[in-house]
Amino acid sequence: MYERKIPVDLTCPLRLTMSLIDSKWKSCILDELRGRAMRPSELHKALPEAAPRVLDIQLKELVDDGLVSKTVYPELPPRSEYAITPLGMTLIPIIDSMLEWGEKNKELFVRKYGEMK
């Protein structure tokens, strides 16, 4: 795993919160898991633009940070499920306000940056 060489000042509440969710797919993962627990393969299907390996890594970080929980069912074929934790749920209002902001202002930026498709 990668070891940071330049520490971040997590004393700043803003940077602390940011550090937990500003990776490329973390906010999307939390948004997907808000309604129900999902299996890894489901998440991969739900976020097809994300490289599977990246999803796995960011999922693991979310688990390490206590925002998501992982349950492994000792079955065959193997099955596991990721669910948002109560702590993770407390971030949902932030996700929601970002969703709402993006919805309300998207025309502004689609015009500026193009469809980006």
Partner DNA sequence: AGGTATCCCGAAGAATTTTTCTGTACAGGA
Partner DNA sequence: TCCTGTACAGAAAAATTCTTCGGGATACCT
The residues of the shown chain that bind a copy of itself, judged by CB under 8 A, are 7-18, 20, 22, 27-28, 31, 49, 65-66, 87, 90-91, 93-95, 97-103, 105-106, 108-110, 112-113, 115-117
Q: Does residue 52 interact with DNA by CB under 7 A?
A: yes
Name the minimum Å distance from CB 78 to DNA.
4
Residue closest to 22 by CA, chosen among 71, 83, 91: 91
Residues 6+ apart with CB under 8 A from 50: 24, 25, 28, 44
Entry field: residues in the chain: 117
Please, are residues 44 and 52 in contact by the beta-carbon 8 Å criterion? yes
The vertex-17 CA angle with 14 and 20, nearest 5°, equals 145
Which partner in a copy of itself, DNA, none is near 90 (CB below 5 to 8 A by kind)? Answer: a copy of itself
- Residues of this chain that interact with DNA (CB under 7 A) are 1-2, 4-6, 23-25, 39-41, 50-54, 56-58, 60, 70, 72, 76-80
